[in-house]
Amino acid sequence: MSSDAVTVTPESTADLADAMRAVEADDARVSIRGAGTKQGWGALSRETSVVIETTRLARVIEHATGDLVLTVEAGARLTDVQNAVAAHGQRLALDPPERDATIGGVVASAASGPWRLRYGTPRDQLIGITVVLADGTIAKSGGKVVKNVAGYDLGKLFTGSFGTLGAIASVTVKLQPIPPAMRIVSVAADEPGAVWAAVARSTAEPTAVEWDGRTVHVLVEGAHAAVEAIASTLAGSLGTTTITDTLPATFGARPWSPGEIGIKLTHRLSALDTAVAALRRELPGARLSAHVGSGVVWAGWPVADVASARAAVEALRTVGSTVVVDAPFEVKQAVDVWGPVAAVSLMRRIKDQFDPDHRLNPGRFVDGI
């Protein structure tokens, strides 16, 4: 965005539609943002003159507690939503570590955390969505019931679209009961593959299995009467005795700090150690972590020189899809952050249908979309 960009903060879906129409009337380009926790994610945006920020579009529209369903405006902060529904013993099964993120931002970036092993990613929590297109059209799909196959699922298309198809005005998500008790079984592992193989063969049904580069932590949740038994059986098969009932501070943390490079490598489940070995080979000294059992490994390191970062990313792409998630400006300028994309011409056609003038977050997504 340009430095003198105008910021608009709509307070309702109608406001948001007005803002879009004004943008269209001015033939402007827009950045859409929530709390801005992922402004560094995605490719570099081309110049925009307007910022639409959703942080004042943040009401809880309806919490149907008995139905475990929540409808909330896009700008509501995930943390606030969790606090509100926790009062009823419920949670939204999304735990990306960016604490200040808005729901709309989490959905638009498909951000996930450790719980994805059991519950999936934002696409799997969403049961309804209301969006505003670049010409101000307000449209919804899905609804507020957990089972529904009427019409196309725009929610899935908008999840992970990085604001390039339209602005998310509100979402309806399903909620989960908060399990009464938890245990964490921890086992040291330089390579997490063997631990995963043992967990996968067990019937513990863990909520999450996280590796922080040194230790695998298995989160088991359930009834008070059950978790101890499940955890100790699991610990036995993993050859450890370390069972605690609090999460380590680093649980689910991304292994990079602001200003560093963070990448995400995805792999088939059996190739976890291969992925880890490739990361260690191409990025000696990088911090690693993994959503074990989900096929996601993260790496973070400080930029030394851009050319070698680029070479490492290219080399990793022969191992698995590698996305440069977060990185300083000069790195994003030099590296293809998304990497190769299947069916990209179809994606372009979708973009052309939804945002024919390419006004929204231009350049931020794959292939310059």
| Tokens standing for residue 274 | 């291969």
User: Taking contact as CB under 8 A, which single stretch among the options 99-107, 133-141, 299-307, 308-316 is the one that binds another protein?
Assistant: 133-141
From the list 320, 325, 361, 364, which residue makes contact with another protein (rule: CB under 8 A)? 320
- The distance of Cα 161 from the centroid of its chain, to the nearest Å, equals 11
C-alpha dihedral (62, 208, 273, 342), degrees to nearest 10: -20
List the one residue out of 8, 10, 9, 17 whose CA is nearest residue 131: 17
136-155: which residues touch another protein (CB under 8 A)? 137-141, 143-155
Choose, by CB under 8 A, the member of 99, 214, 268, 281 that binds another protein. 268
* Footprint of another protein on 52-91 (CB under 8 A): 64, 66-69, 89
Least distance between another protein and beta carbon 40 (Å)? 17
Place of tokens 């969403």: 126
* Residue (77 or 354) nearer to another protein, CB: 354
Q: Which is nearer to another protein, 159 or 289 (CB)?
A: 159
Q: Which of 9, 39, 250, 266 binds another protein (CB under 8 A)?
A: 266
The residue (of 54 and 294) whose beta carbon lies closer to another protein is 294
- Cβ 90 to another protein, closest distance in Å? 8
Q: Is 316 in the site for another protein (CB under 8 A)?
A: no
* Interaction between residue 317 and another protein (CB under 8 A): no
* Residue 135 lies near another protein (rule: CB under 8 A): yes
Q: Closer CB to another protein, residue 149 or residue 249?
A: 149
Which of 249, 342 has the CB closer to another protein? 342
Judged by CB under 8 A, how many residues of this single chain contact another protein? 89
Of 179-238, binders to another protein (CB under 8 A) are 179-180, 197, 200-201, 203-205, 222-227, 229-230
Residues within window 288-307 making contact with another protein, judged by CB under 8 A: 294-296
Query: Which pair of tokens denotes residue 249?
Result: 């501070």
Nearest in space to 265 (alpha carbons), one of 301, 318, 307: 318
For every residue of 316-353, DSSP letters joined together read HTTTS-EEEEE--HHHHHHS-SS---TTHHHHHHHHHH
The whole-angstrom separation of Cα 209 and Cα 290 is 8
Supply the minimum distance, in Å, between the C-beta of residue 155 and another protein: 8
Our finding on whether 4 is near another protein (CB under 8 A) is no
Q: Answer yes or no whether residue 310 interacts with another protein by CB under 8 A.
A: no
3-11, 97-105, 242-250, 316-324 -> range binding another protein (CB under 8 A):
316-324
- Calculate the CA 206 to chain-centre distance: 20
Q: Do the Cβ atoms of 42 and 339 come closer than 8 Å?
A: no
| 3 exposure class (CB count in 10 Å sphere: 0-12, 13-18, 19+) | exposed
DSSP 146: S
Of the pair 6, 344, the CB lying nearest another protein is at: 344
Instruction: Give how far the C-alpha of residue 227 lies from the chain's centroid of Cα atoms, to the nearest Å.
Output: 28
**Chain centroid to CA 158:** 13
Whole-angstrom distance, CA of residue 9 vs CA of residue 267: 39
Interface with another protein in residues 29-58 (CB under 8 A): none
Q: Which is nearer to another protein, 87 or 224 (CB)?
A: 224
Helix H, strand E, coil C: the string for 86-139 is: HCCCEECCCCCCCCCCEHHHHHHHCCCCCCHHHHCCHHHHEEEEEEECCCCCEE
Least distance in angstroms from the C-beta of 270 to another protein: 4
> Which CB sits closer to another protein, 1 or 325?
325
> Could you say which residues in the range 329-348 bind another protein, by CB under 8 A?
338-344, 346-347
User: What is the spatial distance between Cα 117 and Cα 312, in angstroms, rounded to a whole number?
Assistant: 28
